[in-house]
Amino acid sequence: MPPARKRTRSYDPARIRTAVLAQFGHLRKAVEGLTPEQLALPTRLGDRTVRELAAHIAATYGALAGALGRPEPPKADITLLDWTFSTAERAGGEGTPAAADPSQDLPALYARTAGEVEAALASVSGERLVRTASGAMRLADHLVTRAVELVVHTGDLAEATGLDIPYERQALAACVRLLADALAVKAPGGSVELRIPPYAVVQCVEGPRHTRGTPPNVVETDALTWVRLATGREDWAAARDAARVSASGDRSDLSALLPVTS
């Protein structure tokens, strides 16, 4: 696990809380409209079907209410940036809980889960500690990880079904920024500037650091392409060939550093 930087980006707890609730709402609406044929479709996640993916999303999101229902841990033992490296499989997730039963009535499951999480969050401070699969962390930080989880799996579900599922702006921004910051931790330095407008700009990769003007090595891509690259959903070469990534300079090839979460 790469060491997290001492200074981490701050996220507005109220905005993230609102964004997480709203993003699950977008997913709930999408899942409620899925046909049996769509539920049986494959996804890009191994042998997991759309139905299994939908059950997984609800279970991992609903685990937040369960965590808040348990005693508060005595201290935090994992940071937000540490979480991104806690396991490659997570790439925005917490693993599939035993409760993720794909045979459930999914609309009913999503309705129940939405209500439980909203009620659990109603009067809890972002400083409250919660126990997660990766370790104990601040609720405010854990909500950022939930934003990542929901954004990543929104893309998985949209890709599998062809649906146009909305992304809550604050949820997408948090996901992009955390994964960009994780790259800067994984490959510290200042020779490459990664630009993901309008959400993030970070410097990374060892080498000469520029101090003014346009840096010699620049990588630029859009938010959703970055999320796919950072989590192993898209190949660097394929994204470049499709002009979804522009990379200039002899140090701008990030393929050896992707996915970020591995």
pLDDT of residue 19: 98
Which has the closest alpha carbon to 56: 89, 18, 78? Answer: 89
Number of other residues whose CB lies within 10 A of the CB of residue 66: 16
pLDDT of residue 183: 96
E strand map for 163-252: 192-196, 200-204, 218-221, 245-248
Instruction: For the full predicted model, state whether its pTM sits above 0.85.
Output: yes
Rounded (5°) CA angle 105-107-108: 65
Token look-up 């009913």 returns: 108
8-state DSSP, 138? E
**Which residue positions in the chain have pLDDT lower than 50?**
3, 5-6, 88-99
